[in-house]
Structure 1
Amino acid sequence: MATSWALTASHLGLLEHRRRLAAADVLTLLRADLPALPGGDRHLSGVVAIALDHADGRLARRHGTASPFGDYADTFADAAFWTWHAWRHETGRTTRAVAVAVWVLPVVAVSTTALYRGRMPERPRPALLRPAAAMQIALAARSLLHGASGSR
C-alpha cells in the first residue's frame, strides 16, 4: 500500500484542474491495492479486478472525470495487480514472463522516458491487439477454473 500511496502522491499534478480524486480514481487505486486487502477469495480476485477496471472507466466517462492521472493510474493499477496475481497464483515460468512483458516492461519504459524528458509521454495504444486485456481474461479464467475444481 505504501507503493500505491507514493505513486499516487507523485502523480497528483496529472489531476489537472481537479483538486481531489474522483470516484473512478478511487476505484482504480482500490484495484491496485487488492493484493494488500485482507480476506477475499483469491479465485475471484481476477474477476473483481476486471469488474473494478470496467467500473472505473465507465464512471470516468459518464461523469467527465477522465484525466491523465486516471489514465496513468489505470496502467499502474493493472501492472500492480496483474503482475502480483501472476506471480502469486501461476506456477509456470512462461506465464510469469508474459505477465512481466505485458505489464511491467511498459510501465518501466514509460516511467524511464518520463524521467528522462521531464514530462509524461503519450503511451502507445494498439488499436487491434491488446495483449494485456487478453492476459487479464486468461488469468482470471484460470483462477476461476482452479477454484471451481478445488485445486491449488
Structure 2
Amino acid sequence: MVIADRAGSRAATDALLAELRDSGWRSAAWGRFVARATRRSIRQAAPRPRAVAEVTLLHAAFLLLARGRGAGWTTVSWLLCLTHLGMLEERSSIGPANALTLLRAHLPHLGAGGRWLGLVAIATDLLDGRLARARGETTAFGDYADSFADAAFWIWFAVRHEPNPRVRAAALAAWAAPVAVVTAAAFARGKMVDRPWPALLRPAAVFQAVLAFRAGTHRDVPA
C-alpha cells in the first residue's frame, strides 16, 4: 500500500480509501481494496530482496528461539513487514535499529513472561531510536514499526502483569485507543489521517515506567 516516497504513498493510499468510502464499503469494494493494496506491496518489495531476506530470517529466528510459541503473532508481524517495505524509502535494508524494534514486539514469547521484561522493552525502545538517528536510518517504516511494537508489547504486558483492573484499562487505552481512532477516521474520511503522535502517546511513555515498576513488585496475573 506504499511506495518509495511518502507523498506518493499517501496519494495512492488516499485514492484506495476514497474509493472504498464512496462504494459504501461493499464487499466487492473491500475485495478490490485488498487486491490493489497487495499488488502495490509486492511491487515495492520486489526491488528490496535484501530487506525481504532480513525480515524473513529475523522472524524465522524468533520462531526458533521461542520454540514455536507465538507462531500466529510472528506470522502476522512477518506479513506486515513484507507488505510495508516501501516505507523504507530509498533504503534496501531494514537496518539494526528496525531489527531491535521487531525484537521488542516479540519479547512476549522470547522472554518467557518474565516480570522484569518491561525494563528490557524500555531499553530496546531507547536504543533503537538512538541507533536510527546515529546511523541516519530514520524512515517511515521505522516510525510505524516502533509504534506498533510498543502497542503489541505493552498491551500484552499490561494484560499479563498488571493486577489492578483500572490501571490495566488505562494502559490498554493509552496504546489501543489512538490506533483505533486513527484507523476508523481514515476509513470514514476516505483518506489517511495524521497520527496524533507523539503528543497523544506521551502518557503511554509514562505508563511504560509505571507498568514495568509495578510488575516487579507484584505477582504475575494468572493466565
Is 96-105 or 70-79 further displaced after alignment? Answer: 96-105
Question: Deviation at 1:7?
Answer: 2.1
State the superposition RMSD in angstroms: 2.3
**1:18-51 deviation digits (Å, cap 9, x = unpaired):** 1121110000000011112154x61220000000
| Aligned residue number for residue 19 of structure 1 | 92
1:1-152 equivalences in 2 (<5 Å): 1-37=74-110, 39=112, 42-114=114-186, 121-127=193-199, 130-146=202-218, 151-152=219-220
Flag the structure with larger Rg: 2
Give the match's secondary structure for 2:131: helix
Is 1:32–1:77's contact at 8 Å kept on the other side of the alignment? yes
Residues 66 and 127 of structure 1, relative CA distance in 2, 3 Å threshold: same
Unaligned runs of 5+ in 2: 1-73
Distance 1:25 1:121, change over 3 A: farther
Q: How far apart in 2 are the matches of 1:139 and 1:85? A: 8
- Counterparts in 2 of 1:5 and 1:45: CA distance versus 1, 3 Å: same
Change (3 A) 1:29 1:120: farther
The structural deviation recorded for 1:3 is 2.1
Q: Structure 1 length normalisation: TM-score?
A: 0.85
TM-score computed with the length of structure 2 as normaliser: 0.59
1:103 alignment partner AA = W
Q: What one-letter code is carried by the residue in structure 2 that aligns with 1:131? A: P
1:66-118 CA-partner distances (Å, limit 9, x unpaired): 10110111110010000000001112221221122110111223334455677
Q: 1:46 to 1:38 in 2, by over 3 A?
A: closer
Distance, in Å, in 1 between the alignment partners of 2:163 and 2:75 is 27
Distance in 1 (alpha carbons) for counterparts of 2:117 and 2:88: 28
- Matches of 1:109 and 1:129 in 2, distance apart? 13
- Structure of higher RCO (CA pairs closer than 8 Å, 6+ residues apart): 1
User: 2-side partners of 1:114 and 1:14: how far apart?
Assistant: 18
- SS at 1:79 equivalent: helix
